[in-house]
Structures are given as C-alpha cells and as structure tokens.
Structure 1
Amino acid sequence: MALVAVAGSSRSTNTALEEKVAGVAALIDKWRPDDGQCSLFLDGSRREAGRFLCAAVELHGAMLLVASDVDQERGDECLVRAQGVLEAAMRRLQLELELLLSTVRSNAVDGAISGHDVVGDAGVVGHITMVADAMMAAGYGMECVSTFNSHRRAEFAAAVRRLLGFAPSQHAHFHKLTWEDVDGKVQSWHTAAGFAFNFAFSRERVLCHRVFAADAALADKVFAGIASDHAADLLAVAEAAVMRARRAPERLFHVLDVHATLAEILPAIACILGDKSEAAARATAALRNAGNAARGILMSLEQAIQKTTSSKAAVTGSAVHPLTRYVMNYLVLLADYEDTLARIYQQGESTLTSGSGSASRVSPSSSADSIGRLVSVLQRKLEAMAVGYRPSALRSLFMANNTHYVSKKVRGSSKLEGIVGEDWIEEQMAETRRHVDAFVHSAWRDVLVAGGEGADAAVKEAVATQRSWVVADDEMGDAVRAAAAAVVVPAYRALYRRHGTAAWMTPGDVNAMISRQFGGLRNEAAGARPVSAGSATSRRHRLRLTSFSDKLAHVQ
C-alpha cells in the first residue's frame, strides 16, 4: 500500500508540473521572449502580467517538488520540459525588466533636470520590483541583478556625461589639453559633482532598495556596483584638474573651487557610499591634495613677487606698477574665498598636529594671514622698486600712487576690507599722505627756498618737470594738487609781497598752474568724477589672469 501511495503521489506531482508547464507555455506563446515590440506590463493587462509572474514562480515550485520526489522515472522527462519552459519565461521577464528599465529614462540626474522624480513613479518601479521578486524566487537572481546593474550603470553614465558635457574618463587626457579646455571642463564638473553626490547617488540608492526590498544587503551590493565606478570617475576629474594646475598663480582659483566642491560633497559621499568606502577615502585625499596645491600656489606667488628684479621696476611717470595692479586684483578675487582658505589652513594645521594627537581648531586669522602676508610682501617690493626712481620727488610720487592704489582696492572690496581691518586701512591712507607730502616738498623744493625772480623760474621748472609724471587717478590728482597748493601758494605769496615788482606771476597764477597739473582742469571741464574702487567679484566670476611672468614682461 505504501508503494502504491508513493506512486500515486509521484503521478500527482508530475501531473501538476505538466499542468504548470502547459499554462506557462501558453503565456509564452503570446508573450514570446524574442518579441521586444510590446511589454507585458506596459501594453498588457495588469491581471495578465500577474498571471505570468505567478505561473512562472509556481512552475519553479512544482519543479522543486518533482526534483525531490524519489520516483524519477517519469519526473526527469517532465523536469527537462519544465526547465525549457521556465528558461523561456525567465528570458521574457529579463526582456520585461529591460523594457521597464528603459522607461526609467535615467537616474535622478535626468529626473532632477526634467523635474520628474523617477524614484517616485510607483507604477514603473512597482513593476520592476515584481519582476525582480519573481526572477529571484525562480532562481534567476543572478540574471536579474546583472540586467538591472548593467542597465542602470549605462543610464547613470549617460546622465552624468550629459550633465558634464564630456565623458568623465576624459580626465586621463587632461595633460594634453590647453588650460582653457581644462577650465571649461572643470567648471561643468562643479555642477555635475554636486548634483551627483548630493542628489543622484542617493536617489539611485533609494531605487535599488525599492526594487530589492526583500534583501537589503543585496540592494546595497547592487547600488555599490552601479555607483562605485561613476564616483571614481567624477573624483578623478577633480584629481586631474588639481594636478594640471601646477603652481601657476592664475590657476589658484580653480583649485580653490575644486577644494570647495570637494568639501561640500564629502559628507554626502560618506553618508551614501559609506565613510569607509574607497570613494570617501579618495575624496578625502583629493581634498587634502587640493589644499596642499593651493598653499603651494600662494607660496609661488609670494616668491614671484619677491623675485621681481629692480630692472623690471621703472614705469613711465611713476604710475601704478603692473605688479601692484596684478597682485591687488588677485587679492580682491582671493578674498571671495576667505572661508575656503580658512578650511585649507585648518587642514594644514591638522596635518601638522595629527601625529601628536592634539586637536586642531579653526584659526579665524589664517586666511587673513595669507592675504595680509601677500600685501606686506608687495609693499616691501614696492619700497625696493622705488629706490630706482630719480629724482626723489618721482620716488615719492611712485610710492604715493601705489600705496593709494593698494588701499583703494581694499576699500573697494568689502571682504578684503574685512580681512585686513580698518586699522590697516587707516595706516595705509596715512602712509599715502606722507608720500604725497614728501613728493610736494621735494618737487617744489626750489620754489620754497627761492627768492625774488628765482621763484618764477623755479615754478616754471617744477611744472615742466612734472608734465610727464602721472597720478593713479583723479582722487590722487586732487590730493596732490591740494597738498601742493597748500604748501607752495602761501610760500610764493610771501615772496610776492616782498618782491612783487620783480615777479611777473601772481599767487593766483601759481595756483592756476598747480590746478592744471595732472589733468586737473581737463577733468573738471569734462565733468569727470574720481574713479570708483569697484566691487568684489563673485565667487564663480573670475578675472582672466595671464601668467605672472607674461604680466610683467613689458617692463623688463
């Protein structure tokens, strides 16, 4: 009786399997694995899609029952047929997975651009989840993961490439590109990296966990497979940009931008990919390297200022020196990066103290120290350059023009003004006034010590000598004319009162001659106003700075 019962049971399971095979085969005849023109889920009915999934899973279950049966005489034949039908069903589901994934046009990058939240599309994501569950339940989890992974990797790569405007892998060729080309690519990288790490990766992770909700560990593994290479490619662009920048002063701002973006995305990388992940370690290293590069560039700039030789010093008419203009315009831009500089110098201090285990703190003066140091280096260089000017009046005018330009650029930038402080500005303006006074006493010395008709000749000579000299701007011209009139006119008036019969110029004539110096009356006639100091440049807008050596080449 037991043998009869077992035989009956085997026939029953085999019959059930044959029925399952027939049912699935009928569905496959309608939804063939090689027909990608229509989708069971998107073009068929929800009920029929559910029947297909259930039938495939039930077929796999029936196969397991037959395979566990001790009577394999008829079961083996049934299993062979069932295996063929199941494989066909899984190929159809694999095709369905591809069709469904193709409707998920991209990862969150494109979703954010278009304003459409792909992850929030419950219908499509729900269908994908159902297919994944069925394939996993039927023993085809590897095929499911492989299809999902390859499709999402390709979509993610395409979306990032569209956002960047170039393939991230092109970073390997940065050394062959002109700096202008690199500059353009790095600028698009800032947007792409911020978008990817702060938004796209997190949305992709949500998608993975929704599709593979039954196995969180698997979902994390699938996400890592999609994200790891793309994260590495994006970080490689930053690494290549910093390496390409070398120590050219005009490229510091790109390095600072890279540092700022890396500092912004590092918390997101640690949160989404894990603080122990390769991406987090790589981003941390890139951040450190960008900081080191920035400090190196600032050191190079300081050395370049110091190495400007006296032969490059003289400029016609004691005008503002190109070095002064270059450095101060540079510092106005640099002041916009005060917070980034503070982080970079904190990073340097942390590196120095990490070996001893002492905790580092943010030094609020670190950015001020670096900028203030460059200003001091410039001032010392200007003093050294001034020695080459003859006569002494021209030397004083050179210093007055350049110190005035320095303080004016500082006053024109609220950030730079905040960094150096009001006391420094007051001292700098007082220094400019001292140079103006020294200029007046030197340039008009012969008038001040002359007597009789000699005063007229001294005035004419002083005016003729100063005709080719220049002032920094109308503000400086007003200051110089006012200082000269305040000293020279009273002195000449005293001489005129004593020797008026011999002198043919009146004090009014002398005052008028002083008023015409440095374009005074011409500017008045034209209705000119003092040149404004300008305003601070925004973080992303930068001056086109040529190389430091090229900037000074014309004064060699």
Structure 2
Amino acid sequence: MEDNGEEKLLAVARHIAKTLGHNETMADDILQIFSNFDGRFSREKLSDNIVDDHDHHDDHPRGSVAALELTLKSLDRQISRYVEADHPIWADSADSAAFLDTIDELIATIREWTLVSRQKAVGACLVRAQDLMQQAMFRAEDEFRSLMESGGESFELSRDYRNGESTGNLSFDSEDDDEGDIGNGVDNEIPVAHPITDYEIVIDALPSGTIKDLHEIAKRMVAAGFGKECSHVYSSCRREFLEESLSRLGLQKLSTEEVHKMPWPDLEDEIERWIKAVNVSLRILFPSERRLCDRVFVGLSSAADLSFMEVCRGSTIQLLNFADAVAIRSRSPERLFRVLDVFENLKDLMPEFELVFSDQYCLVLRNEAITIWKRLGEAIRAILMELENLIRRDPAKAPVPGGGLHPITRYVMNYLRAACRSRRSLEQVFDENVVPPPPPSKLNNNRGGSSSSSLSVQMAWIMELLESNLEAKSKIYKDSALSYLFMMNNGRYIVHKVKDSELALLLGDDWIRKHTAKIRQCHANYQRSSWNKVLGVLKLETGSQAANVAASTMKDRIKLFNTSFEEICDVQSGWVVYDDQMREELRISVVKLLLPAYGSFIGRLRNVPELRKHVERHIKFGAEEIEARINGLFQGNTGSAGRRK
C-alpha cells in the first residue's frame, strides 16, 4: 500500500512538473525544488518518469490535459453567454468582436491539440470542443442570416462599378407601382429593378459595413469546417431576391407541359417576357450576385463559388427550362421567328454565361446553357424542314384566277425574306450541323454562283421545291398562255424578293441571272402561244403571189383577225400581272409585235380593188384602238368580256 501511495505522490509531482515546465530549464528547476522539499522526490525518480512520459506521449506547448480542460471551460462560459443571448450579437460591436475572438481561440485550440496530441484524455476534450464549436456555429449562422436579411432592406445601384461611377441610392419596385407604396406591404419587402435596356449597372445589394461583418463570420465558419452551412444560409437569403426579381419582370414558373399546352399568342408574349428577364439576369442580376459573393467570401474562393452557384442555380434553370420547352415544341413554320429570338438571345448571352459561370461549381449550368442553345438550333433546322414538307404537300387544286400570284409564293418568299434577316444566326445553325444536300441534279441547276455554305444549299433547295410546286400548278390552266403568265408572275415575285433581301447573298448572282432568264423565256412563250394565231392571220405572201390574193381571202382574214383579237382582249383583260413594270413591259411587247403586222395588212387591204369602196366597213379596229385595247389587258377585270360583248 505504501508503494502504491508513494507512486501516486510521484505521479502528482510529475504532473506538476510537466504542467509548469514549459521547457527543459523550467522543468529542471521544478525538480530541484521538489528534491530539496522531500527526499522521496529525488531528481532521478522524477526525471526518469518524466522522460518515460515524454517517450510515450506527445508534448504540447500549452501544457497538460488539465490545462486544456481549463481552456475549454473558459471558452464554454464565454460562448454560452453569446449563444444564450436574446439580442443580436452584432447589435454591439464590442460583443461581436469578443464573440469572434472566442471563436478564433476555440478554432486555434482544436487545431493545436488535434495536430499534436494523441492522448485519450485529449480526444475526449476535443469531442467537447467540437460540441462547443457547433453551438458557436449555430449562433454564428443565425447572426449571419440576420445580417443578410437586415442588410437587404436598402441597397445601391452602381453604374459600371469598374469605372468607379455611381448613380447613388435608388428605390426599386415593379414597373406599375407608385414610389410611395414601397415598404407598405409584404410584396415590397424585396426590392427589384425596373425593366431596363442599359445593362451597365451593378446592384450593391448589401451595405459595405454589413458585407464586412458577413465576411468576418464567413471566415470563421469556413475555418471551423462549416463552410457549406455558411454557403447554404447565404444562398437561401439571396435566392429569394432573384426569384422575386424574375417574378416582377413578369416571368412565370412554367413546366414543359404548361409551355406546350399554352396557346401560341400567349406563348409569344411569354417569350417577350423571357427575353427581358434573361437579359436582366445575365447582364445585371447574376454579375451583381457574383460580385457580392466575392466580397462576402473574399479569400474563400471555394465558398464563394459554391454560394454563387446555389444562389443562381434555381433562376438559371428556370430560364433555361423555358428555352428548352420552346425548343421541343411543335415545328410549325410560323414559329420559326420566336424560336430564332430565343436562340439569338442565348447566343448573344453566351459570353456572359462563360464569364459569370466560370467556376467549377457552375460548370453544369454553363454546359446546360450550351446544350439548350444547340437544341434551339436543331429546332430551327427542323422548322425549315417542315417548311419543305409544307411546300411539297401544297396541292395543285383550283388554279389562281387570272394567273396571278399564288398564296404559297407569297407565303414562302415573305417567310424566307423575314427569316434571312437573321442570316448570320441561320448560317451558324446550319454550319454547326451540316444537313445532307439535295440531289445533285436539282442543286446544280439552281445554285449557280451562290455561296457554298450549308444555309445557301438549304435556301437553294427550298427555292427548287417552290419552283417545282408552281410548275405543277401551272399545268392546271387549260390555256398555255395563261400557264406562262402564271409562271412569269410568280417568277418575277420570287426574283424581286430575293434581290431585295439577304437571300441574294445566299443564292448568288448566278441564281438571279438564271431565274431572270427563265422569266424572259416565259414571256416569249406567252407571246408565241397567245398571239401567234393572230399574227398568222395577218401574215401575207410577198412577191408575185401577193397580187393574186383574192378579195374574199382578204375579207375573211380581216374578219378572223377582228374576232380573234377581240376574243384575246376580252379574255386577257381578266388576266393579272401584279407587277406594274412587268405589266407595262408586256403590253409594249405585244404592241410592238402586233401593230406593224396589222398596219401592213390594213395597207394591203385598202389596195384590193374589189374592197376599196367599202374597205372601212371591214376594218373594225384602228391602230390607236388596237393599242388602247392592248393597254387594257392584265387588269384582272373578269367582268370586262361580258360588258364588251
């Protein structure tokens, strides 16, 4: 028993020597004091045991487990005071500074003992320390949230903060609210920007002092291993601002199914709102959030990136999901232009996506934006393919009255003319994924000197389909002259629309020249099929045979001419030439073709002796009247024939 008691006494002495002896010199002095005080505390016994103790346990500069326990007890007392406080710690700068200092000391204590000591007793202390740290972090999290919420009550707009310019304090609200209503209701608690077109502004959503306080808390939470918790509370506060901002900009949260069921006029309005919202988000809201994250989490890049991603993820997905729903909706040709609007806005915003979402956490959002942008391109290609099908399916039923413009010609040409205002976007769409070219026999006949881009191939192919469709429709006319007039009208309209738009750059000068030549050929064919019969009547033999033409033959011919000419004028006055210039050119060509032959015939008629006395009785039309009747053609007046008769 005595040995056991002496061993306990020696253990106490060794503990005191270890606790107080922070270095070898101090420990040696303590041993000397113990040795002089009691012979049982010999230098040899104590030093050997202390050496043994050092051989089996890690040394610690702050002393023994008892010292660690004393430190934790002190920290527990301080932290409990702040954790149990019923008022905000950051309401008093002294309290906040003391709270942060306490956390710093706790972090340092845990770090020191975790790295240095392996004693079991220390492990138990570290568990207590971690529990204490968790309590401190819960309170720090509450303080962080309180600062975020109170700091968001007022903020500034800075115009081009990189240049140091500022517009000062501005109040934000929805476009329709009066300025005096701000702050009167729940809806006004979250400030939101007016719709704008000038994107060179950044929202300072929190005061500088609040940002500094948030940074100090964030720094401790990250150091204590609570970085994700800090990011979560930060993002939950800022996410509400973004969601409310999109709502105030008029953008609804719509599922893909809701977008697909929405009537097209309503969806067009929704696309307009989406365009405004996505531009404000990528050019103002998201960069402002990025800047705020970087200021709150300065020096804590991983926490800043994670927080920013969590803040913007929901709003970004909402914007992208809407664009995706538009992309996969039905492929009706009339929807091309709105899909192009969505495509072009995403294309224009790609630099912003790359810049704002450049970190590792946002990579998935950036990639999703690229994926949906490409899907919109696929939708555009599919819509133009549907236009091809529409042209193919357009039936050759009843002919257009008077050989005028066919509705499909107007539709297709105005459609392509409007579409090619976005030529560069369409070129990008088709060059991204080259479509199979049309059959060589078709393509070689129509491309001429046009560009070899995939879009040029596509446009040439649509032109070929349209021309083939019109040729099929022209065959419905029983009068071949009217068939040619129909092709002239539609061909002239097509060439005019091509020359007056970006289609000219895509199809090229050779294409225009070839189709202009086709129109001239149709013109010649019209004259031949329409007026050859009349000209044949007026044609007389020359030379010795001319004198032998009987008076009866001359009389029959003038009568046949009168009948044929009147019939043609009555019929063709109901035909249509839509283009004023082409109508005038056509009339002049007929006059130049007919009048010389008619004048010659009348001269010969007057020289026939048997008819000379009553010749005027047989001449129904003078030269001026012939010209006047020709100038009355192609007016589309279907009732003129009846009136003339």
Q: TM-score, normalised by structure 2?
A: 0.66
Answering whether residue 482 of structure 2 is matched by residue 394 of structure 1, we say yes
Structural mapping, 1:381-460, within 5 Å:
381-413=469-501, 415-450=502-537, 451-460=557-566
Give the SS at the match of 2:405.
coil
Give the SS at the match of 2:397.
helix
Q: Which amino acid aligns with 2:455?
A: S
Answering whether residue 628 of structure 2 is matched by residue 512 of structure 1, we say yes
Give the SS at the match of 1:337.
helix
Corresponding residue number in structure 1 for 2:146: 95
Corresponding residue number in structure 2 for 1:58: 101
**Counterparts of 2:88 and 2:108, CA distance in 1:** 27
**Counterparts of 2:578 and 2:195, CA distance in 1:** 53
Corresponding residue number in structure 1 for 2:600: 494
Q: Which amino acid aligns with 2:99?
A: A
Asked if structure 1 preserves the Cα contact closer than 8 Å seen for 2:417 and 2:498, the reply is yes
Give the SS at the match of 2:204.
coil
Q: 1:310 aligns with which of 378, 383, 396?
A: 396
Asked if structure 2 preserves the Cα contact closer than 8 Å seen for 1:437 and 1:483, the reply is no
Q: How far did residue 291 of structure 1 move?
A: 2.6
Answering whether residue 280 of structure 2 is matched by residue 192 of structure 1, we say no
Q: How far did residue 447 of structure 1 move?
A: 2.4
Corresponding residue number in structure 2 for 1:376: 464
Residue 63 and residue 441 in structure 1: after superposition, are their counterparts in 2 closer, same or farther (change >3 A)? closer
Q: Which runs of 5+ in 1 are unaligned?
A: 34-39, 353-362, 522-556
**Counterparts of 1:351 and 1:226, CA distance in 2:** 44
Q: How far did residue 113 of structure 1 move?
A: 6.9
**Counterparts of 2:597 and 2:75, CA distance in 1:** 122
Q: How far did residue 140 of structure 1 move?
A: 6.2
Q: Deviations over 1:39-72 (max 9, x none)?
A: x6xxx7xxx43x232111123356679998x99x
Structural mapping, 1:203-352, within 5 Å:
203-244=288-329, 246-274=330-358, 277-312=363-398, 314-349=399-434
**Counterparts of 1:374 and 1:180, CA distance in 2:** 27
Q: How far did residue 325 of structure 1 move?
A: 0.8
Corresponding residue number in structure 2 for 1:531: none
Corresponding residue number in structure 1 for 2:35: none
Give the SS at the match of 2:577.
coil
Structure of higher RCO (CA pairs closer than 8 Å, 6+ residues apart): 1
**Counterparts of 1:408 and 1:441, CA distance in 2:** 25
Q: How far did residue 408 of structure 1 move?
A: 1.6
Asked if structure 1 preserves the Cα contact closer than 8 Å seen for 2:430 and 2:455, the reply is yes
Residue 115 and residue 275 in structure 1: after superposition, are their counterparts in 2 closer, same or farther (change >3 A)? closer
Q: How far did residue 401 of structure 1 move?
A: 0.9
Q: Which amino acid aligns with 1:247?
A: R
Q: 1:163 aligns with which of 233, 239, 249?
A: 249
Q: Which amino acid aligns with 2:410?
A: R
**Counterparts of 1:453 and 1:475, CA distance in 2:** 33
| Higher alpha-carbon deviation: 105-114 or 282-291 | 105-114
Give the SS at the match of 1:468.
coil
Structural mapping, 1:533-544, within 5 Å:
none
Asked if structure 1 preserves the Cα contact closer than 8 Å seen for 2:218 and 2:227, the reply is yes
Q: Which amino acid aligns with 1:52?
A: D
Q: Deviations over 1:245-295 (max 9, x none)?
A: x22111222333333333333444344334972223323332333233222
Q: Which amino acid aligns with 2:234?
A: F
Q: How far did residue 400 of structure 1 move?
A: 1.1
Q: Which runs of 5+ in 2 are unaligned?
A: 1-12, 21-62, 114-120, 156-189, 438-450, 538-556, 607-614, 638-645
Bigger radius of gyration, 1 or 2? 2
Residue 310 and residue 81 in structure 1: after superposition, are their counterparts in 2 closer, same or farther (change >3 A)? closer
Asked if structure 2 preserves the Cα contact closer than 8 Å seen for 1:484 and 1:514, the reply is yes
**Counterparts of 2:80 and 2:389, CA distance in 1:** 84
Q: Which amino acid aligns with 2:357?
A: L
Q: How far did residue 464 of structure 1 move?
A: 0.8
**Counterparts of 1:506 and 1:491, CA distance in 2:** 13
Asked if structure 2 preserves the Cα contact closer than 8 Å seen for 1:119 and 1:207, the reply is yes
Give the SS at the match of 1:295.
helix
Q: Which amino acid aligns with 1:383?
A: E
Q: 2:573 aligns with which of 446, 455, 467?
A: 467
**Counterparts of 1:400 and 1:287, CA distance in 2:** 42
Asked if structure 1 preserves the Cα contact closer than 8 Å seen for 2:336 and 2:383, the reply is yes
Asked if structure 1 preserves the Cα contact closer than 8 Å seen for 2:203 and 2:285, the reply is no
Asked if structure 1 preserves the Cα contact closer than 8 Å seen for 2:286 and 2:356, the reply is yes
Q: Percent identity?
A: 26
Answering whether residue 563 of structure 2 is matched by residue 476 of structure 1, we say no
Residue 62 and residue 243 in structure 1: after superposition, are their counterparts in 2 closer, same or farther (change >3 A)? closer
Q: How far did residue 110 of structure 1 move?
A: 8.2
Q: How far did residue 89 of structure 1 move?
A: 7.0
Asked if structure 2 preserves the Cα contact closer than 8 Å seen for 1:342 and 1:367, the reply is yes
**Counterparts of 2:536 and 2:202, CA distance in 1:** 84
**Counterparts of 2:364 and 2:249, CA distance in 1:** 24
Residue 18 and residue 150 in structure 1: after superposition, are their counterparts in 2 closer, same or farther (change >3 A)? closer
Corresponding residue number in structure 2 for 1:36: none
Corresponding residue number in structure 2 for 1:360: none
Q: Deviations over 1:513-547 (max 9, x none)?
A: 112223499xxxxxxxxxxxxxxxxxxxxxxxxxx
Q: How far did residue 131 of structure 1 move?
A: 4.3
Residue 241 and residue 9 in structure 1: after superposition, are their counterparts in 2 closer, same or farther (change >3 A)? closer
Corresponding residue number in structure 2 for 1:544: none
**Counterparts of 2:496 and 2:149, CA distance in 1:** 64
Answering whether residue 233 of structure 2 is matched by residue 147 of structure 1, we say yes
| Higher alpha-carbon deviation: 197-206 or 495-504 | 197-206
Q: How far did residue 189 of structure 1 move?
A: 2.2
Residue 93 and residue 324 in structure 1: after superposition, are their counterparts in 2 closer, same or farther (change >3 A)? closer
Q: Which amino acid aligns with 2:146?
A: L
Q: How many residues align?
A: 491
Q: How far did residue 486 of structure 1 move?
A: 1.4
Asked if structure 2 preserves the Cα contact closer than 8 Å seen for 1:496 and 1:507, the reply is no
| Higher alpha-carbon deviation: 372-381 or 417-426 | 417-426
Residue 319 and residue 66 in structure 1: after superposition, are their counterparts in 2 closer, same or farther (change >3 A)? closer
Residue 272 and residue 510 in structure 1: after superposition, are their counterparts in 2 closer, same or farther (change >3 A)? same
Q: Deviations over 1:136-195 (max 9, x none)?
A: 56776555333211011111222233335322x444411221122222222332333344
Residue 479 and residue 65 in structure 1: after superposition, are their counterparts in 2 closer, same or farther (change >3 A)? closer
Asked if structure 1 preserves the Cα contact closer than 8 Å seen for 2:474 and 2:486, the reply is yes
Residue 364 and residue 433 in structure 1: after superposition, are their counterparts in 2 closer, same or farther (change >3 A)? closer
**Counterparts of 1:118 and 1:146, CA distance in 2:** 20
Give the SS at the match of 1:117.
strand
**Counterparts of 1:295 and 1:86, CA distance in 2:** 55
Answering whether residue 266 of structure 2 is matched by residue 181 of structure 1, we say yes
**Counterparts of 1:368 and 1:80, CA distance in 2:** 70
Asked if structure 2 preserves the Cα contact closer than 8 Å seen for 1:107 and 1:152, the reply is no
Corresponding residue number in structure 2 for 1:359: none
Residue 275 and residue 302 in structure 1: after superposition, are their counterparts in 2 closer, same or farther (change >3 A)? farther
Q: TM-score, normalised by structure 1?
A: 0.75
**Counterparts of 1:64 and 1:397, CA distance in 2:** 92
Q: Deviations over 1:465-514 (max 9, x none)?
A: 11221111322321221121111122211122222533132111101111
**Counterparts of 2:436 and 2:559, CA distance in 1:** 73
